[in-house]
A and B are shown apart, each in its own frame.
Chain A
Amino acid sequence: GEQVEQRPPHLSVREGDSAIIICTYTDSATAYFSWYKQEAGAGLQLLMSVLSNVDRKEEQGLTVLLNKKDKRLSLNLTAAHPGDSAVYFCAVSEGNAYKVIFGKGTHLHVLP
């Protein structure tokens, strides 16, 4: 079945720097991709989603890139600030699947 690898597990950046998180997946039938943010003591919050026919999507300082050839999904936080400190998860699903596969998460720490 589908497997998702997320890296790095921990990431520290300075305020104003960019932070990049990468997920790789195995199933070429994967059709839908999402990124979530989890702040301390809270549930996961959906940040952004893309369909498989989208290569790049930008919203509010976040950029999602999808490379279907390499089966790689990335999240780029441009100009990170301390409020971005959280755990980030990628999530992928096939078009008609009821189940979503989550990455294991990246702990992002933005230093002031």
Chain B
Amino acid sequence: EAAVTQSPRNKVAVTGGKVTLSCNQTNNHNNMYWYRQDTGHGLRLIHYSYGAGSTEKGDIPDGYKASRPSQENFSLILELATPSQTSVYFCASGDEGNSDYTFGSGTRLLVI
């Protein structure tokens, strides 16, 4: 069954440390997305990708990098984690032209 798998499910990181969140999709979708979800803000787009080798800035890219080494994999990188990046992060995949996304189960990140 086509799916989006995120790892880890939970992460505790120290301020100033590096954090990598991973996402793998088996949907063969061209586009992949990273969102963070915070109470009062809904879903906010951090980075997205059109395909292997491409990354684009979303609405709140500051403090985050992204990497798309292959069609299946899309990573979100926090080079210097800060407490304000404590959140739940969701990866999604989809095709252009519609809003039918497949979401992963999320990664709960706590930066202390």
Contacts and interface: CB of A to CB of B under 8 A. Distances in A.
Interface stretch (B13-21, B61-69, B76-84, B97-105): B97-105
Interface size on B, as a range, is: 20 to 34
B31 A105 contact: no
A40 to B, nearest CB: 11
A92 B45 CA distance: 14
Interface stretch (A11-19, A58-66, A77-85, A94-102): A94-102
A98 B56 CA distance: 11
A44 interface: yes
A87 B90 CA distance: 15
A49 B99 contact: yes
Contacts, number: 64
Interface residues of A, number: 26
Contacts of A96: 96-97
Contacts of A98: 31, 48, 50, 56, 96
Contacts of B92: 43-44
A105 B41 CA distance: 9
A46 interface: yes
A44 B99 contact: no
Interface in A8-59: 31-34, 36, 41-46, 49
A43 B90 contact: yes
A67 B57 CA distance: 32
B103 A100 contact: no
B98 A49 contact: yes
